């Protein structure tokens, strides 16, 4: 097992990988006590090549690794890649391209929703993954041989999984379906942690403009503090506290101190004073422009029976196509279709329209019906 812990060894490995048609990748990271993910280990594998890279090794320069992620002739293979890509983007300002996500590919190939790596390794590589080391503190050194073997297994079997899924996509002609999903993963805005959008994480249940304007201000303040201090958001202030402050804005330190979710002594601290300044600023702030979309969603009241019928159609179409329903449409898509709000619904475009969207419009417009035939759901075209 090769452990790469110097820049020279890393550069040599990257040169060797340049001749591969694809590279399987995985990372181990920690963020329990930090805001920014701490990259602790990277695993790479290609046909005939496998290695572990220690990004925490003193003096190691990862530039050649990030150059490989940009290499246009090498497919970068990851499983459930979003968090890995976030790390690559934050630390190396790079998004792997071309990219192949085996979890998404598995959904396209009919392995169900959110197929785990263990499931795919068992079904496609006929391998069992030992999960006994999954709770390892990857920032500790030295790591044991068992821990390293566990980490490397996340890419060694990924080679077989990738090759099997790629063949199935080619055989079924669904490679373009996967490309549509991958394109969304390669959008840089997905990985930019913009404090101005931090309020969205709180999923407020109200559309009151004053509440949301203040919530946006104090959520952005917490995000900036967490980023600057490299601490988890909850270490600065819990979500419940932000929601309570937005609902009942305190004007004084004493009022802030009386809020149940505020830690003792916080109101008198530097952060407490800064928060009160933000509360005062938020009282006159404009609500975030995105709330209009939130308000529109809250006003939507489609017929529950129409929603249920479209969900049944989605399951039927997904089963017939051998693809995970979630990949075709989510709950919001179904609600928008039921409410005749078709603009921008992904399910009405591309391969999704062929599999489900066109049928959904026909069902909604009374040109298609669902029926039972010998115990199986079938689609029936209506002529009248």
180 with 62, same domain: the answer is: yes
179 with 317, same domain: the answer is: no
180 with 204, same domain: the answer is: no
> Which residue, 166, 191, 216, sits at the end of a domain?
191
128 with 199, same domain: the answer is: no
172 with 259, same domain: the answer is: no
236 with 369, same domain: the answer is: no
277 with 344, same domain: the answer is: no
What CATH number did the domain enclosing 315 receive? Answer: 1.10.150
- Greatest mean pLDDT among 98-102, 202-206, 293-297, 328-332 lies in 98-102
Number of domains the chain contains: 3
What CATH number did the domain enclosing 33 receive? Answer: 3.30.420.10
**Domain that includes residue 213, residue range:** 195-292
> Which residue, 249, 266, 292, sits at the end of a domain?
292
Categorize the per-residue pLDDT at 295 as very low, low, confident or very high, splitting at 50, 70 and 90.
low
Categorize the per-residue pLDDT at 300 as very low, low, confident or very high, splitting at 50, 70 and 90.
low
Long-range contacts of 38-45 (CB under 8 A, 24+ apart): 38/139, 39/87, 39/91, 40/138, 40/139, 41/138, 41/143, 41/151, 43/151, 43/152, 43/154, 43/155, 44/13, 44/17, 44/155, 45/152, 45/155, 45/156, 45/158, 45/159
331 with 274, same domain: the answer is: no
pLDDT in tens, 318-374: 999 999 999 999 998 999 999 998 998 999 999 999 999 999 999 999 999 999 888
Residue 108 · residue 89 · CB < 8 Å: no
Give the pTM.
0.88
60 with 90, same domain: the answer is: yes
């Amino acid at each position: 097992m090769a452990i790469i812990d110097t820049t020279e060894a890393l550069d040599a490995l990257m040169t060797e990988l340049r001749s591969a048609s694809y590279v399987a990748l995985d990372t181990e990271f920690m963020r329990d006590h930090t805001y920014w993910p701490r990259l602790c280990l990277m695993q790479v594998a290609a046909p005939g090549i496998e290695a572990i890279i220690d990004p925490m090794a003193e003096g190691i320069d990862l530039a050649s690794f990030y150059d490989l992620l940009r290499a246009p002739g090498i497919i970068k293979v990851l499983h459930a890649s979003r968090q890995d890509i976030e790390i690559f983007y934050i630390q190396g300002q790079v998004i792997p391209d071309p990219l192949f996500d085996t979890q998404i590919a598995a959904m396209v190939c009919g392995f169900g929703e959110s197929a785990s790596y263990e499931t795919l390794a068992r079904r496609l590589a006929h391998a069992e993954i030992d999960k006994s080391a999954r709770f390892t503190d990857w920032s500790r050194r030295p790591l044991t041989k068992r821990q390293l073997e566990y980490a490397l297994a996340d890419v060694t079997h990924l080679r077989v999984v990738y090759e099997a899924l790629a063949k199935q996509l080619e055989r079924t002609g669904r490679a373009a379906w996967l490309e549509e999903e991958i394109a969304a993963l390669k959008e840089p805005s997905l990985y930019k942690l913009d404090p101005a959008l931090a309020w969205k994480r709180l999923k407020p249940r109200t559309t009151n403009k004053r509440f949301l304007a203040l919530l946006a201000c104090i959520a952005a303040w917490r995000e900036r503090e967490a980023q600057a201090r490299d601490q988890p958001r909850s270490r600065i202030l819990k979500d419940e506290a932000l929601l309570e402050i937005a609902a009942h804005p305190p004007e004084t330190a004493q009022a802030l101190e009386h809020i149940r979710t505020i830690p003792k002594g916080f109101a008198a601290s530097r952060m407490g004073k800064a928060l009160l300044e933000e509360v005062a600023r938020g009282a006159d702030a404009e609500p975030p422009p995105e709330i209009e979309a939130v308000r529109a969603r809250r006003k939507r009241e489609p017929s529950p029976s129409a929603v249920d019928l479209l969900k049944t159609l989605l399951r039927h179409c997904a089963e017939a196509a051998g693809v995970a329903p979630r990949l075709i449409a989510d709950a919001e898509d179904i609600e928008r279709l039921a409410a005749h709000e078709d603009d921008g619904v992904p399910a009405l475009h591309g391969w999704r329209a062929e599999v489900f969207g066109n049928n959904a419009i026909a069902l909604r417009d009374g040109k298609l019906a669902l029926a039972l035939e010998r115990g199986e759901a079938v689609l029936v075209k209506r002529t009248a």
